[in-house]
Copies of this chain bind each other. A is one copy, B any other.
Amino acid sequence: MNKEIIVQKFGGSSVANIERIKNVARRVVATKTKFNHVVVVVSALGDTTDELEAMAFQLSKNPTDREMDMLMSTGEQISCALLAIAIKGLGKNSISFTGGQVGIITDTSHTHARIQKIDAKRIRKALDENKIVIVTGYQGITEENDITTLGRGGSDLTAVALAQTLKANVCEIYTDVDGIYTTDPRIVQEARKIKVITFDEMLEMASLGAQVMQARSIEVAKRFNIPLHVRSSFSKEEGTMIVQDNEKLEEVAVRGVTCNKSEAKITICAVPDKPGAASKIFTWLAKAGINVDTIVQNISHDRQRTDISFTVPDAQFTKALATTKKIAQKIGAGEILDDQEIARVSVVGSGMRSHPGIAAKMFQTLADNKINIDMITTSEISISCIINYKHTDKAVRALHKKFNLGQI
């Protein structure tokens, strides 16, 4: 018997040219033999979005967000119509819709709108008519009928939100990689595709540098428990399933190792150790638009002054440093140290909740490899160390090996 309903999302590289669109069309048609209902979400063709953006910035240094959405949303409308045409060309009934047409209503935050509700009436009607439904990713409309876009990774979000609305059995995310790996295969040859990973682990991996899916879509999938299948549109192989923590999952302590070299560290020395000091620092940084990541403050021995370190994206380093210097002066702190030559290596795994000693094993591995640890932070299911960026690859390889990630 056929399963009920599937949502498939195809990224820009999957529909970058005519041949690839045909390939996707064949895949979708094959899926229709296995599922009663197929809903497809598509991103814009290859580099369309970049080209449109470049044109806009040639016309104005500061184009309004509403007009940018009007412009950028055409990319998905084109790929959406073309895919519907390609499927029709294979003899299957299909229909394309814009986000607005299927009632994806968002707030008015143009270029990074949030979905408020989805009506999906037209999708249900088309599915009842046995049509394969193609929906533009990445976009919706406001109550006022203005076109909005959902920001980076927005097409994933469209797919997950539609899967939730339609109570889909599974949501497939097709991309140009064939799944989530235990670590970056460019660094570690033995990196292995993960069969099943939890939403929480995936969220940690994503925030720690694994760029396959945006965190927001995973959060939504987690909240509504929609199983995601991340796989490649260029291969028939199974990819990685992202699911709730459950008994089917392999029992491992560490699921993967990530690294991120594009951060810099700033330390404010001798911050007066009294209530409100940290709050002031990070409020001002936030007001300046700085995305602070890891923050480390250790105890102060003399109960008077303490050092606070934090990391920021490389791109914001100069601005962050200038802002921090001003703040330090205002609150009467000491000197500012900075270090752009840092990297973060992390081990992630929800199994570490029940496996003690993971942190110790990680630190020992780094020590064995003569890698000095600069800062340490932990979450419930991850441990991160800030080290000198020169040692990144060595650290990742050593940790991947130590936790047997290549052999499981």
Point out the residue from B73, B89, B147 that lies within 8 Å of A61, measured CB to CB.
B89
> A80 near B: Cβ within 8 Å?
yes
Query: Separation in Å of the A128 CB from the closest CB of chain B?
Result: 16
Known: A52-B78, A78-B52. A86 touches B70 (CB 8 A): no
User: Complex formed: what's the CA distance from A77 to B80 in Å?
Assistant: 15
Contact partner of A84 (CB less than 8 A), chosen from B70, B73, B98, is: B70
Q: How far is the CB of A326 from chain B (nearest CB, A)?
A: 32
Q: Are A101 and B71 in contact (CB under 8 A)?
A: no
Most buried by B among A60, A67, A88: A67
CA distance A274 to B86 in the complex (A): 52
Chain A positions 41-66 with a Cβ under 8 Å from a chain B Cβ: 52, 55-56, 58-64, 66
Asked whether, in the complex, the Cβ of A67 is within 8 Å of the Cβ of B89, the reply is no
- Residue of B55, B84, B98 near A67 (CB, 8 A) is B84
Question: Once the chains are docked, how many angstroms separate the CA of A82 from the CA of B66?
Answer: 12
A84 CA to B86 CA in the complex, in Å? 33
Q: Does A130 contact B (CB under 8 A)?
A: no
| A68 contact set on B, CB distance < 8 A | 81, 85
- In the complex, what residue of chain B is closest to A83 when comparing beta carbons? B59
Q: Are A67 and B52 in contact, CB atoms less than 8 angstroms apart?
A: no
List the B side residues contacting A62 at CB < 8 Å: 89
Q: How far is the CA of A61 from the CA of B91 in the complex (A)?
A: 11
* Range class of the A interface residue count: 35 or more
- The yes or no answer to A21 lying at the interface (CB within 8 A) is yes
Query: Given contacts A66-B95, A101-B146, is CB(A86)–CB(B60) below 8 Å?
Result: yes
Do A70 and B60 touch (CB < 8 A)? Answer: no
Do B70 and A96 touch (CB < 8 A)? Answer: yes
Which residues of chain B have C-beta atoms less than 8 A from A58's C-beta? Answer: 18
For residue A60, which residue of chain B has the nearest CB? B89
> Does A74 reach chain B (CB closer than 8 Å)?
yes
A56→B82 contact, CB < 8 A: yes
Give min CB distance, A149 to chain B, whole Å: 12
CA distance A298 to B3 in the complex (A): 71
CB neighbours (8 Å) of A122 from chain B are: 145
Whether A63 and B88, one on each chain, are in contact in the complex, defined by CB atoms closer than 8 angstroms, is yes
**Min CB–CB distance A119 → chain B (angstroms):** 11
Task: Give CA–CA (A273, B85) in the complex, Å.
Answer: 50
Chain B neighbourhood of A195, CB < 8 A: none
Contact B67 A81 (CB under 8 A): yes
**A66 CA to B95 CA, complexed, in Å:** 9
Q: B18, B25, B61, B85: which contacts A64 (Cβ < 8 A)?
A: B85
Judged by a CB distance under 8 angstroms, whether A22 is at the interface is yes
- Contacting residues, chain B, for A18 (C-beta < 8 A): 55, 58-59
- Closest B residue, CB atoms, query A64: B88
- Closest chain B CB from A293 CB (angstroms): 33
- Please, how many angstroms separate the alpha-carbon atoms of A84 and B25 in the complex? 35
Contacts of A74 in B (CB 8 A): 74, 77-78, 81
The answer to whether B146 touches A22 (Cβ under 8 A) is no
8 A-B pairs with the lowest CB-CB distances in the bound complex, closest first: A60-B89, A71-B81, A70-B81, A74-B74, A59-B86, A63-B85, A59-B85, A18-B58
Jot down 29 A-B pairs with beta carbons below 8 A, ordered by A. Answer: A18-B58, A25-B59, A55-B82, A56-B81, A56-B82, A59-B82, A59-B85, A59-B89, A61-B89, A63-B85, A63-B88, A63-B89, A64-B88, A67-B81, A67-B84, A67-B95, A68-B85, A70-B77, A70-B80, A70-B84, A70-B96, A71-B77, A71-B78, A71-B81, A73-B77, A74-B74, A74-B77, A74-B81, A100-B145
Q: With contacts A59-B89, A60-B88, A71-B77 known, what are 17 further pairs, Cβ within 8 A?
A: A18-B55, A21-B59, A52-B78, A56-B81, A59-B86, A60-B85, A60-B89, A61-B89, A64-B85, A66-B95, A68-B85, A70-B98, A71-B85, A74-B74, A77-B77, A100-B145, A101-B145
